[in-house]
Amino acid sequence: MYDFKKIEKKWQGKWTKIFNSKNKGKKYYVLEMFPYPSAYGLHMGHALNYIIGDIYARFKRMNGFNILYPMGYDAFGLPAENAAIKASEHPKKYTEKSMKNFIEQQKALGLSYDWSKKLVTCYPDYYKWNQYFFLKFLENGLVYRKKSAVNWCPKCNTVLANEQVHDGRCEYHKDTDVEIKQLEQWFIKTTKYAEELLKEIPKLQWPERIKLMQENWIGKSYGTEIKFKINGKDWPIFTTRPDTIFGVTFMVVSAQHQKLMELVTKEQKKEVEEFLKRLKSVSEKELEEMEKEGVFTGSYAINPLTNEKVPVYVGNFVIAEYGFGMVMAVPAHDQRDFEFAKKYDIPIKIVIQSKDKELKEAYTGEGLLINSGNFNGTASKIAIEKITDYIESKNLGKRTVNYKLRDWLVSRQRYWGTPIPVVYCEKCGIVPEKKLPVILPDKVKFGEGNPLATSKEFTNAKCPKCKGKARRETDTMDTFFDSSWYFLRYCDNKNNKEAFSKKKTDYWMPVDQYIGGAEHACMHLIYARFFTKALRDLGFLKFNEPFTRLFNQGMLHGVDGNKMSKSLGNVINPIDMIKKYGADALRINLMSLASQDKDSNWSDTSLESNFKLVNKIFNYFEKLKPKKSSEKVESKINKAIKEITVDIEEFKYNLAIIKLRNLFDVIENNEISKKDAETFLKILSLFCPHVTEELWNKMGNKSFISLEKWPVADESKINEKLEQEEKQVEALASDINNITKIIREKGKEPRKAFVYTIPNETKLYVENKEILTRKTNLIVEIFAVNDKNKHDPQGKAGKSKPGKPAIYIE
Ligand SMILES: [Zn+2]
Ligand SMILES: [Zn+2]
């Protein structure tokens, strides 16, 4: 067994600076989504993500690009704070410890990062620029304060994003109901860029499903704004189906609507309040699946087209921020409204003709309008336009577009984040800090509401404008703020005068290849795109999109095909595997499990087999006495270069590994030149960088194989005839194996295979008899079909065809 521990340590030590980026040349920026450093350390999903990126960075580097391949830590965040409180440890200490552990583990994987570019979001030299951009946004109307209904976890003592709420419970406190509170919060005006964010999606070289998720998240729809009168006041609603307006039998207002109580009558107040108390916070997805409920507000709305009075309900399924937080309900033609009307016994009025006389469910299709006054007989599609024309002419509303995308609620009532750099002055109001960074104080009390509020030194501030007494903002920023621009800071991470120099971002940006999980399809990737556009318009950047190409790796599951989890006991720790088999074996194994964009299951046997392979390769090359390559080796190696180059470019590393294995089989059984042996090692170095550096060095090279040029295929050396013949032999072996399998299933043990070929192919198979024997574990006899002495008791020979010999097995 080769001493992988020694070899890996040795080369990791020698690599410390060789992967640092230069300032010139054709650039290529490879980036993995940076991790949140948790105390549990690196898990196998991380390892998978980073190895995919590392192989790609190594490949591009060997192809002559000046590579930026950095790593950093998304170090702020609730989990650190919660974990630190549980362990009675300061979040700073907890995070430092976790990061140290993370870095050691990442180094053990042999990743070729430029460590001089490291950044840590919880350090003042980073979050200072968070504060700077926040104030820039504030100055330019991209940040504002607003009272809004928010998800509130009483245990976390902070607002949660919708995505952090599952089944009405907090992500971190699974036993705690999330409450809905009306609070003043800071928002970022992401909606200002809704149209551009949407419009540029088709141009992105991203997975189609991610692009579709973003499109749905932004959720543009064309529709009509219509004003309904309630208690003498105009209440606008948004609808994509104005053709059904004659079928409105009730209205539903969001339970989180700011002006809800204006609609609630004295008689209904108690019932509505009880309803509101029962409400749980839910995510958008849960909203679609949950039971729709509501309570009558006591008010009636007047349909502007029919002048009919319809009741207004408060409902749990209307989102306050979407449209106007109120909808017109047409139960006959909307399934959600239909279920609600059935439940509360509200009339259902059909206004679009369908085949069914009685509705068992809402009819949402097209048809001719009925019960719709002057519009009767109009096709619904045309009616959408005609009714909207009418509404516009009577000044009852207008054509409009609506987006699902909402402004980004960015404030958190937590400690472990970037302080929002403003003070509240009685005289001047909200005043931005002049001196940045506003440092997060170390000494605070945890477990008594917002920890920052417990530090008098922090909260007592001087107003930068009037120098009078002021109170410092105690909210911190959502950590998605930190991750919205970190890729820019890598380009110039030591700059203490600017967040980054324009020259450097002009050179490095955009990120050429971004790699990460699909779970970030919407929030992180939308925020990063928003930031890029906003910073462009503020003059910081010259480009429109941050990530040219995006790759989503598949999920790695346990041996049993389930998600790796402690409770299932199927967690595999990458560091344990490195200790046992070395990083090279782990790397090649992880990449061989499946195509990189597909989910895969962990396999111990495959790790064992890859470990054996690495050992065999090491032993073979260590003792190699190079000669002249055989024609077969030359053909194989050039074909491998040609095909593997494409496989790596397409993230089909698993296919590349199969080809490398087959190539090694041929090399082992043939003669090989020094140059071809080195070519093999160069290709293998993407997957097994340590062992190949060692062998490269043992062959007398003084350079690093990791910095060598990627081999170029000499296509004239590829012997297509040889390749074709080999395929034929492969096919014959697999045909024999299929037959023996059937024979074995019948309980017999075959010993000999008789092969009958057309006469001019006999030589080919005779020459490959040994390979056939090895691949089938049978004694193989080859005959030409016209051979009079052949053994053929069942007369199979007659079935033989060119390229497909007949087979008899006994
Ligand atoms: Zn919580
Ligand atoms: Zn002041």
Rounded distance from Cα 96 to ligand 2 centre (Å): 38
What is the β-pairing status of strands 779-784 and 752-757?
parallel
Å from CA of 133 to ligand 2 middle: 22
Lowest-confidence region among 423-432, 543-552, 556-565, 646-655: 556-565
- Which ligand approaches the C-alpha of residue 430 most closely? 2
Q: Provide the CA 759 distance to its chain's centre, in angstroms.
A: 57
Closest to 275 measured CA to CA, from 257, 249, 297, 299: 297
Compute the distance from residue 86 Cα to the ligand 1 centre, in Å.
13
Q: Is 287's pLDDT higher than 80?
A: no
Q: Rounded CA gap, 33 and 228, in Å?
A: 47
**From the CA of 432, which ligand is nearest?**
2
469 Cα: distance to centroid of ligand 2 (angstroms): 7
Residue 675 has pLDDT above 70, yes or no: yes
* pLDDT at residue 712 is higher than 90: yes
- Minimal CA–CA distance to 4: which of 535, 695, 606? 695
**How remote is the CA of residue 430 from the centroid of ligand 2, in Å?**
8
The DSSP code sequence of 84-126 is: HHHTT--HHHHHHHHHHHHHHHHHHTT----GGG-EETTSHHH
CA of 737 to the centre of ligand 1 (A): 59
Residue 143 CA, ligand 2 centroid: distance in Å: 20
State which amino acid sits at residue 631: E
Q: At what angle do helices 674-685 and 44-62 cross, to 10 degrees?
A: 140
Indicate the burial class of 356 (C-beta count within 10 angstroms; 0-12, 13-18, 19 or more): exposed
**427 alpha carbon, closest ligand:** 2
Tell me the CA–centroid distance for residue 166 and ligand 1, in Å.
11
Q: Quick one: residue 766, left, alpha or beta (phi over 0 = left, psi -120 to 50 = alpha)? A: alpha
- d(CA 707, CA 247) in angstroms, rounded, equals 71
Evaluate the CA torsion angle 241, 245, 250, 256 in order and state its sign.
positive
Confidence of residue 284 (pLDDT cuts 50, 70, 90): low
Q: Which helix (H) or strand (E) holds 438?
A: none
Burial class (CB in 10 A: 0-12, 13-18, 19+), 609: middle
pLDDT of residue 283: 62
pLDDT tens digits along 176-214: 888 888 889 999 999 999 999 999 999 999 999 999 999
- Cβ atoms of 143 and 187 closer than 8 Å: yes
| Cα–Cα distance measured from residue 118 to residue 201, given in angstroms and rounded to the nearest whole number | 30
Instruction: Output the CA 460–ligand 2 centroid distance in Å.
Output: 13
Q: Note whether 342 and 256 are within 8 A (CB).
A: no
Are the C-beta atoms of residues 165 and 283 closer than 8 Å to each other? yes
Spell out the alpha helix ranges (H) of 479-522: 486-489, 502-508
Q: Can you tell me the mean pLDDT for 149-176?
A: 82
Phi/psi for 676 (5° steps) reads -70, -35
The rounded Å distance from CA 555 to ligand 1 centre is 27
- 282 pLDDT more than 70: no
Q: What is the C-alpha separation between 373 and 226, in angstroms, rounded?
A: 18
Please provide the DSSP assignment of 147-166 as one string.
EEEEEEETTTTEEE-GGGEE
CA–CA dist 592, 596 (Å, integer): 9
pLDDT for 358 beyond 80: no
CB under 8 Å to 385, separation ≥6 — which residues? none
**How far is ligand 2, taken at its centre, from the CA of residue 465, in Å?**
5
Give dist(CA 31, CA 113) in Å, integer: 10
Higher-confidence residue of 513 and 445: namely 513
Q: Which residues surround ligand 1, an ion (CB under 5 A)?
A: 153, 155-156, 170, 172-173
- Identify the H or E element spanning 54: helix 44-62
Q: How far away, in angstroms, is 177 Cα from ligand 1 center? A: 9
Helix (H, G, I), strand (E, B) or coil at 409: strand
| pLDDT tens by residue, 44-96 | 999 999 999 999 999 999 999 999 999 999 999 988 888 878 888 999 999 99
Mean pLDDT in residue range 338-359 = 90
Q: Which ligand is nearest to the CA of 165?
A: 1
Average pLDDT, the chain: 94
- Whether the per-residue pLDDT at 151 is higher than 90: the answer is no
The answer to which of 221-230, 530-539, 582-591, 772-781 has the lowest mean pLDDT is 772-781
Pull the structure tokens for residue 320: 């306050």
Torsion sign over Cα 651, 655, 660, 661? positive
Of the bound ligands, which one is closest to the alpha carbon of residue 428?
Answer: 2
Measure 174 CA to ligand 1 centroid, in angstroms. 8
Give the pLDDT of residue 172.
83
pLDDT band at 154 (very low <50, low <70, confident <90, very high): confident
Beta strands in 127-256 (DSSP E): 143-153, 158-160, 165-166, 169-170, 179-188, 220-230, 233-239, 250-254
Other beta carbons less than 10 A from residue 385's beta carbon: 14
Contact 763, 773 (CB under 8 A): no
Model confidence pLDDT, tens digit, residues 18-44: 999 998 899 999 999 999 998 888 999
Residue 804 carries which DSSP code? Answer: B
